[in-house]
Chains A and B, each alone.
Chain A
């Protein structure tokens, strides 16, 4: 034995080389597994995005009829003293615009075809005239939404009776799918031809603003206090455990809390972004506190020492040195919390943000709904048109999320400093 040790070094034996091979093999296996995991994630992501994009594209379109209107035969006038669009629309309604449109449609497509023009079509004409009064003179053509039934027939399903009509109108060039940018400007409606996402998007934006304004300062201050000032004793341990548990509480529980506490204090603000934001802030705050504490812990003690040693007070150390260095980490935590809050429906169900809201909220205390809730509500509808609208809403939600993340990454890189 001792001869072997003396003559052959342990790192030169065949057994050692065999072990070495094994080590390399295990490294290769590990790398392959990791690569596989990443490829799988990418594949899933691509599948999701492609499916969304294909389905959702239809949601940004709507089936429209080309309706020729002869205002020379049936004149309407735009009142000169109209204060706003609404006044113009009301005036045009009184002048019988609805009948003029129905009459024009009957002229063009017959009784059967005119019946499939969307009942709100005249309002779209009225809004266009309000924007451009010259449209109310002479021969004009408008692309107007069809009824949901005709839209289904055009897409190749729905009732069998309308299929021949749809085919005939398509051949005559009166019926086609047009890009519907109005989807981004309207609010919820009962007719999928007339719905829009702006109401829910604005609701989400308002709710997120409230959430951010509450959760970010409270979360950051709590994290700073716990890390920098709090004495290390049983009470702070208890608080720490509580906050960690809070981050793991199912979101619907926060909804119950919002219902029980916030709606009890502000009973008239049911369905308001203010209450929704407050509820989501409760949910987001622990995430920010945990991320913030980790980021603050990661600031090297040498920076604190350096600042203290030239006579900075503890508050100056925190606000001049610790916070700026911890900010990128805090922002990362904030964005994770906000993204979670943005996609949240369960707690908002309980505080009444699932109401049908037909006009975009004008402020923090108006009735509102949010994007994921809108998706949930639309996916519940049986009309075929809502399926595509749901996909389109999902795309809007994802784009909003990406924009938010992009902003956070930009901010984080801006504040990132090396030491």
Chain B
């Protein structure tokens, strides 16, 4: 396959077109954020964000560096809990349940809302162990055979199976950067989450590896709700159906990707996507 074609992504743009005219309010959103503020100590990093995330659409967060898009993404599966000074107010719901409610188990939440990071971070274990780790700790596999099936399924979904099936015992860190990132996606898929959050998953990858990840995102859409933070507006345009533009901690505009890029309602959005700042 010629990769440059994939970068231009006939797949993604087609998919986008077919969905273009669906109303953003159709169906129940998978995740719903209302009046979300995130503070680091005294500093307000996110101010009053309202957003809906749908399983059917890939949602892209764009915006200049430091605008809070990663912070907001990490609020969606409570990864901000690891930062002692971080504090979240407002409500974020997953299937109508408030994920910051006291009854919400954070371990279960993160099993339901997985995450892929900017820098590929496979565990320094074998490829097999990397994938099997999630199902193991959650007790999803009855026996070794089950686990084997799960590992193969996850690797296939992540498009990595053919490349690694003969060396599952090799270290995950020995793979190339793009393969490592797909391994991380496979690792997230292995626990069968409902939503996958991706924090600039391609920023450390070359264009060929990027194309593969984008293709993969498109294949995963519909099965998993996907939220992707990206610096590349082309990438947002290629892979997403919904785009949210963040600026200085505010959600400036949220809507159909095609609308945001061709006909933004806000001047700030237009300035950003036309490269006037950011």
Contact = CB atoms under 8 A, between A and B. Distances in A.
Interface string B152-190: 000000000000000000010100000000001001101
A311 B196 CA distance: 13
A308 B83 CA distance: 13
A312 to B, nearest CB: 6
Contact of A418 (B79, B107, B109, B124): B124
B255 interface: no
A309 B133 CA distance: 12
Contacts, number: 70
Interface string B60-88: 00000000000000000101001010000
A384 interface: no
A418 B137 contact: no
A139 B117 CA distance: 86
A293 to B, nearest CB: 17
B123 A311 contact: no
Interface stretch (A7-15, A252-260, A313-321): A313-321
- How many residues of A sit at the interface, in one of the four size bands? 20 to 34
Nearest to B112: A311
A308 B110 CA distance: 7
Interface in B132-155: 133-134, 137-138
B121 interface: yes
B171 A309 contact: no
B198 to A, nearest CB: 11
* Secondary structure type dominating chain A contacts: helix
B180 to A, nearest CB: 11
Interface string B105-122: 001111100111101011
A306 B117 contact: yes
A310 B133 contact: yes
Nearest to B121: A302
A321 B123 CA distance: 8
Contacts of B110: 308-311
A304 interface: yes
Contacts of A419: 124, 173
A303 interface: yes
A262 B184 CA distance: 52
A303 B138 CA distance: 18
B53 interface: no
A123 to B, nearest CB: 60
A302 B119 contact: yes
A53 interface: no
Contact of B117 (A232, A309, A417): A309
A325 interface: yes
Nearest to A310: B134
B121 A310 contact: no
A140 to B, nearest CB: 64
A325 B124 contact: yes
B172 to A, nearest CB: 9
B109 to A, nearest CB: 8
A305 interface: yes
Contacts of B58: none
Given A232-B84, A304-B82, A311 B111 contact: yes
B200 to A, nearest CB: 13
A214 interface: no
User: When A and B form their complex, which 5 residue pairs have the shortest distance between CB atoms, in order from nearest?
Assistant: A311-B111, A309-B115, A302-B121, A417-B124, A310-B134
13 contacts: A302-B117, A303-B121, A303-B123, A305-B79, A305-B82, A306-B122, A306-B187, A309-B79, A309-B115, A310-B110, A310-B114, A311-B109, A313-B137
Given A417-B171, A419-B124, A419-B173, 17 more contacts: A231-B84, A303-B123, A303-B124, A305-B79, A307-B133, A308-B82, A308-B110, A309-B110, A309-B115, A309-B117, A310-B187, A310-B190, A311-B137, A312-B107, A312-B137, A320-B133, A325-B124
